[in-house]
Amino acid sequence: MVDVQPGASGVTMTPPPRRQKLPGSLVFTIGVLGVVFVLAMTSYLTGEPALTSSSTMKNTVSLGLPILLCGLGGIWAERSGMINIGLEGMMILGTWGAAFGGYHWGPWMAVVSGMVFGALGGALHAVATVTFGVNHIVSGVAINLLGAGVTKYLTTLIFQPLSDNPRESPPIQQFDTFSVSGLGDWLAGLEKDQRVIISDVAGLVRGLVTGVSPLLIIGILLVVATYVVLWRTRFGLRLRSCGENPVAAESLGVNVYLYKYLAVIASGALAGIAGAALVLGSGVPIYQEGQTANRGFIGLAAMIFGNWRPGGTLAGSALFGYADGLRLSATPEAVHALLYSAVIVVGLLVIWQLYRRKWTTAMLAAVGAVAVYALYYFTDELPQEFLPYAPHIITLVVLALAAQRLRPPAADGVPYRRGEGD
Partner 1 sequence: MTSRLRSSLLAPVLAVVFAAVLCAIVLILSGANPGEALGAMIGQVGEGQIAVDIVNSTAIYMLAALAAAIGFHMNLLNIGIEGQYRVGALVAAIVGGALVLPPVLHWLVILLVAAAAGAAWATLPAILKVTRGVHEVLSTIMMNAIAFGLAAFLIRRDQFGILVGNNVTTKPIPSSGQVPGIDLGDRGTVFGLVFLSVVAAAVYGVVLNRTRFGFELKASGLSPTAAAAGGVNAKKMIVVSLLVSGAVAGLVGMPEILGRDHAYTLNFASGYGFAGIGIALLGRNHPVGIAFGSLLWAFLEKSKGALDNVGVPKEIATIMQGAIVLSVVVAYEIVKRMELAAEQRRVGQATGTAVEPEAAK
Q: Where are the alpha helices (DSSP H) in 127-245?
A: 136-154, 160-163, 181-193, 198-209, 214-232, 234-244
Nearest-approach distance from CB 86 to partner 1, in angstroms: 10
Short-list 120, 127, 142, 119, CA closest to 82:
127
Cβ nearer to partner 1, comparing 34 with 149: 149
Nearest-approach distance from CB 170 to partner 1, in angstroms: 18
Site track for partner 1 across 375-414, x = CB under 8 A: --------x-xx-xx--xx-xx--xx--xx----------
DSSP characters over 243-299: HH-HHHHHHTT--HHHHHHHHHHHHHHHHHHHHHHHHHHSSS---BTT-STTHHHHH
Report how far residue 412's alpha carbon sits from residue 75's, in angstroms, rounded to the nearest whole number.
11
**162 sits near partner 1 (criterion: CB under 8 A):** no
Site track for partner 1 across 255-294, x = CB under 8 A: ---------------------------------------x
**95 sits near partner 1 (criterion: CB under 8 A):** no
Taking each helix axis as running N to C, give the angle between helix 54-79 and helix 181-193, from 0 to 180 degrees, rounded to the nearest 10. Answer: 120
Amino acid found at 417: R
Nearest-approach distance from CB 203 to partner 1, in angstroms: 28
Site track for partner 1 across 71-90, x = CB under 8 A: ------------x-x-----
Report how far residue 88's alpha carbon sits from residue 389's, in angstroms, rounded to the nearest whole number.
16
Site track for partner 1 across 170-209, x = CB under 8 A: ----------------------------------------
Q: Is the dihedral of CA 244, 246, 252, 254 positive or negative?
A: positive
* Binding residues among 101-130 for partner 1 as defined by CB under 8 A: 124, 128
Cβ atoms of 272 and 93 within 8 Å: the answer is yes
Which residues form the interface with partner 1 (CB under 8 A)? 83, 85, 124, 128, 132-135, 137-139, 141-150, 152-153, 156-157, 166, 294, 297, 300-301, 304, 383, 385-386, 388-389, 392-393, 395-396, 399-400, 403-404
